[in-house]
Homo-oligomer: A and B are copies of this chain.
Amino acid sequence: MSFRPGLRLLNSQLPLFYRELTGPRCRYVSNGLALNSEKRASDFNSFVGRTNTCGELRSAHVGQEVTLCGWIQYQRQGLFLVLRDFQGQTQIIIPQDEAHSHVKKVLCHAPVESVVRVTGTVASRPPEQKNPRMQTGDIEVKAKTAEVLNSCKKLPFEIKDFIKKSEALRMQYRYLDLRSFQMQHNLRLRSEMVMRMREYLCNLHGFVDVETPTLFKRTPGGAKEFVVPSREPGKFYCLPQSPQQFKQLLMVGGLDRYFQVARCYRDEGSKPDRQPEFTQIDIEMSFVDQAGIRRLIEGLLQYSWPSERGIITTPFPSMSYAEALAVYGTDKPDTRFDMKIIDVSDVFRSEEIGFEQKSVKSQGTVKAICVAEGARYLQDKDFESLKESANSQFNQEVLHFILKPGESLKPPLHRFLSEQQQMELIRVLQVQADDVVLLAAGEHKKVCSMLGHLRLESANLLESKGLVLRDPTAFHFLWVVDFPLFLPKEKNPAELESAHHPFTAPHPSDTSLLYSEPVKVRSQHYDLVLNGSEIGGGSIRIHNAEQQRFVLQTVLKEDPELLSHLLEALECGAPPHGGIALGLDRLICLMVGAPSIRDVIAFPKSFKGRDLMSNAPDYVTPEELEPYHIQIAWPAAEAEANKN
C-alpha cells in the first residue's frame, strides 16, 4: 500500500518544530512515556469529549471504537492524516467509500493545525507499516465520523520556518511554541517534579505550605525590588526578592516546618537568562542545624528526581568555600571534570621570577591548571583567546606551555626556571605529554578566580572540538559551606556588608570573633551547586535578638528600626531555625538540559524584561495613574518629543 509511507520516512520531511514527537531528536528531550509510566495512572480522558488521547492507543485497543480530539499534524493525498495532541500522534485513515464522503470532505479540507474530533475504529497496521519509533505505531484509526472543532485560519509564518526563527518570534507566538514536544515535555516534567517535592515535604515530613504576601515593604538596601504604588500618597509596596522575613516570622509563630513554591521578584534591568519574576522552593524549619537541612534537601531531590534522568546518590559531597576557591577558582565548582587549580608557589619561592613582568611577592602565589591533551586540540588562536580573557576580565597575565613527548617544555621556561625547577613543576602538576599548562602569579583570590574562569573556557574550547569533558547525563551535586559571613564593600573596603544576608548566623566556632574581628567570621550559610551552577542556598539564621541587632547596627551600620518587627519577634521566643531556597527554574533547566531557563517557563520575559506576546510593559494613561498619586518623569529627550 504505497499510499501510506511509513512515518519514519515522512518524519524526515516534517519541519523540525513538530518532528520530535516520534523520537528524541533534540538533545534534551527523552521519551515522553517514561514520565507517565512511573506515575500513578492518571486519567487524561475524564470529563471531556474523547475516549483516548492521541498517544494512548496500542494493539490491545484494536477493534475498539474511539473518539480522539487533536490537531491535524499533516494530511496526505486524501488518504490518511496524523492527529496530534499533548501525548502523541495517531494515524487516522480517511474513509474512501461514498457513504462516508462527508467525513472525507471534512478531513481533507481542514487546514493543517485545525482542531478536529474523530470517531473511528482502532485497527492493526499491516506488519510492514508498523512504525516502532511512534508510540502508536502499531495501530491506526479508521475514521467513521469527523468534525472540525476549530479551523486554523492562518499561521503567522510557515511552521517549517519556526525553529529557524529567532527566540523573539518563538516568544511572540508562545502559544504555538508551547505545542512543540520540548515545551510540553519541559512543562509537564516541571509540574510532576514539583508535585513529587510537595509529596515529600507535606505528606512524608509534615511541612506546611504557607502562602506569604508579595505586596510587602521595601527591605533595607533592597535596590532590586520592584515598587508598587498604593493609594496612599507617596507610599509604595514592594515585590519581595524572597519570603525571607515571612518565613522566619512563621518559625517565631510556631509553624515548625514551612515550605512554599514561592514567586519572587528581582528587577535587575536587562540580564540574559534572568527573569524579573522567578520561582523558588522555599523552606524553613525550627530546631534544625546545617546537617538537618542538608539531609532534607538530599532526600527531597532524590525523591522527586525523575527516573528518566537517572538516580541521585546521597549524601552529596561537601566542600568549604576556601577549598572551592583554591581548587576550582569559584564558589560553584563544576566537579564533572578535573583540571584543578594547583598551587606551585613553592617551586618558585626561592627564585626571583620575572615572567610576564610579575614576581612572586611574599603575599603572591603562583598557580596553574593542566589541560590534559590540550596540545592535541587547542591551537595558537585558542591560547590567545584564553590569555585575552585573563587580561581583559582579570587584568592578569597568563603563561602557557606544553610538555612535548620528549619531556621538554615548549615554549622553554629556562628564562625563568632552572632545569631542576622545571622538572619539579612537571612533577607537581603531573604533566604528561601533550598536556597544556596555564600558569599565573598574583594575589590568591584573584589568580584563583581567573584560573577558574580559564578552566571553564578551556573546557568549552575542548568540547567545541569534539571532546566530552562534562557528561550531559551526569548530575554532580555539591554543597559549598563555610562562607565568610561578611565581605568588605567593593566601593569602601573599610566597611563590611553581608556576604549573603544579614539574618545569617555565624559559624558556632567563630561566634566570639563576631565581636572582635567580624571579617574573619565564617557563616552558617550553605550553597547547593549542580554541575557548576548554584541551584540553592540557605543558612541557619540568627535567632538571638541581641546578636541580630549587633550585626545590623554595629557591623553593617544599618538602621535597625527598619527591621524592628523582626527584632521584636526574635525577643518573643523565637526558636532556633534555618532554611534554604532552591531556584526552581534553574534546577529544571539543568535537569532537562535546556539551553535557557526560558525553555522551562510557560510565558517567559525577554532579556529586556518584556512580554513579547502581549507587549508588556505598556503605556498607561495619566488618568489611570491618578489614584496612585504618581506621574511620569519623562527623560528630557522624550519629554521634548512628547511636546511636539
**Residues of A bordering B, CB below 8 Å:** 39-40, 42-44, 46-50, 69, 71, 85-86, 113-115, 117, 149-156, 173-179, 183-184, 187-188, 191-192, 194-195, 198, 202-206, 208-218, 223, 226-239, 245-246, 249-250, 252-257, 263, 265, 267, 269, 276-277, 279, 285-289, 292-293, 295-296, 543-545, 565, 568-576, 601-603, 605, 609, 611, 613-620, 624-635, 638
Please give the count of copies of this chain that the complex contains. 2
Residues of B within 8 A of A233 (CB): 632-635, 638
Q: Is the CB of A572 within 8 A of B153?
A: yes
Q: Is the CB of A618 within 8 A of B218?
A: yes
CA distance A336 to B306 in the complex (A): 47
Residues of B within 8 A of A50 (CB): 287
Question: Are A614 and B575 also in contact (CB < 8 A) when A86-B256, A234-B632, A277-B215 are?
Answer: no
Q: Is the CB of B69 within 8 A of A575?
A: yes
Q: Is the CB of B175 within 8 A of A191?
A: no
Q: Is the CB of B42 within 8 A of A204?
A: yes
| 20 residue pairs from A and B, CB less than 8 Å apart | A49-B288, A49-B292, A69-B287, A115-B573, A150-B543, A150-B574, A153-B545, A178-B255, A195-B202, A210-B602, A211-B263, A212-B603, A223-B624, A228-B228, A231-B269, A236-B618, A246-B602, A246-B603, A626-B633, A630-B631
CA distance A71 to B256 in the complex (A): 12
Q: Is the CB of A573 within 8 A of B150?
A: yes
Question: Are A43 and B217 also in contact (CB < 8 A) when A263-B211, A618-B235 are?
Answer: no
CA distance A69 to B287 in the complex (A): 7
Q: Is the CB of B575 within 8 A of A149?
A: yes
Residues of B within 8 A of A250 (CB): 175, 178, 602
Q: Is the CB of A572 within 8 A of B176?
A: yes
Residues of B within 8 A of A48 (CB): 285-288, 292
The closest CB in chain B to the CB of A601 belongs to B211
Q: Is the CB of B42 within 8 A of A227?
A: no
A634 CB, nearest partner CB in chain B, Å: 6
Question: Are A617 and B237 also in contact (CB < 8 A) when A47-B288, A113-B573, A288-B48 are?
Answer: yes
CA distance A312 to B512 in the complex (A): 60
Question: Are A213 and B611 also in contact (CB < 8 A) when A46-B205, A235-B619, A572-B155 are?
Answer: yes
Q: Is the CB of A633 within 8 A of B634?
A: no
Q: Is the CB of A217 within 8 A of B615?
A: yes
CA distance A265 to B229 in the complex (A): 13
The closest CB in chain B to the CB of A53 belongs to B256
Question: Are A47 and B236 also in contact (CB < 8 A) when A176-B253, A255-B86 are?
Answer: no
CA distance A254 to B187 in the complex (A): 12
Beyond the given pairs A175-B253, A191-B208, 13 more chain A to chain B contacts, judged by CB atoms under 8 angstroms and listed by A's residue number, are A43-B204, A47-B295, A71-B254, A149-B287, A151-B573, A174-B249, A175-B250, A191-B209, A211-B601, A213-B605, A231-B609, A234-B620, A625-B633
CA distance A229 to B214 in the complex (A): 16
Q: Is the CB of B234 within 8 A of A239?
A: no
Q: Is the CB of B572 within 8 A of A154?
A: yes
Residues of B within 8 A of A49 (CB): 287-289, 292
Q: Is the CB of A206 within 8 A of B47?
A: no
Q: Is the CB of A234 within 8 A of B619?
A: yes
A303 CB, nearest partner CB in chain B, Å: 12
A89 CB, nearest partner CB in chain B, Å: 12
Residues of B within 8 A of A619 (CB): 234-236
A457 CB, nearest partner CB in chain B, Å: 32
Q: Is the CB of B86 within 8 A of A254?
A: yes
Q: Is the CB of B213 within 8 A of A617?
A: no
Q: Which of B173, B183, B253, B629 contacts A179 (CB 8 A)?
A: B253
Residues of B within 8 A of A238 (CB): 616
Residues of B within 8 A of A277 (CB): 213-215
CA distance A518 to B231 in the complex (A): 37
Question: Are A573 and B231 also in contact (CB < 8 A) when A46-B205, A236-B617 are?
Answer: no
Question: Are A634 and B234 also in contact (CB < 8 A) when A178-B254, A204-B42, A602-B211 are?
Answer: yes
Q: Is the CB of B202 within 8 A of A192?
A: yes
Q: Is the CB of A226 within 8 A of B227?
A: no
A537 CB, nearest partner CB in chain B, Å: 18
CA distance A584 to B571 in the complex (A): 33
Q: Which of B115, B176, B265, B614 contacts A245 (CB 8 A)?
A: B614
A53 CB, nearest partner CB in chain B, Å: 8
Residues of B within 8 A of A179 (CB): 253-254
Question: Are A630 and B629 also in contact (CB < 8 A) when A187-B255, A239-B228, A263-B214 are?
Answer: no
A107 CB, nearest partner CB in chain B, Å: 15
CA distance A277 to B245 in the complex (A): 18
Q: Is the CB of A628 within 8 A of B227?
A: yes
Q: Is the CB of A212 within 8 A of B252?
A: no
CA distance A156 to B226 in the complex (A): 32
Q: Is the CB of A216 within 8 A of B629?
A: no
CA distance A572 to B602 in the complex (A): 18
The closest CB in chain B to the CB of A238 belongs to B616
Residues of B within 8 A of A211 (CB): 263, 279, 601-602
Residues of B within 8 A of A198 (CB): 195, 198
The 7 closest A-B pairs by CB, nearest first: A178-B253, A217-B616, A42-B206, A47-B292, A152-B573, A153-B571, A235-B617
Residues of B within 8 A of A257 (CB): 44
The closest CB in chain B to the CB of A620 belongs to B236
CA distance A45 to B617 in the complex (A): 47
CA distance A150 to B543 in the complex (A): 8
Q: Is the CB of B43 within 8 A of A206?
A: yes
Question: Are A217 and B614 also in contact (CB < 8 A) when A115-B574, A572-B152 are?
Answer: yes
A292 CB, nearest partner CB in chain B, Å: 4
A230 CB, nearest partner CB in chain B, Å: 4
Q: Is the CB of A631 within 8 A of B628?
A: no
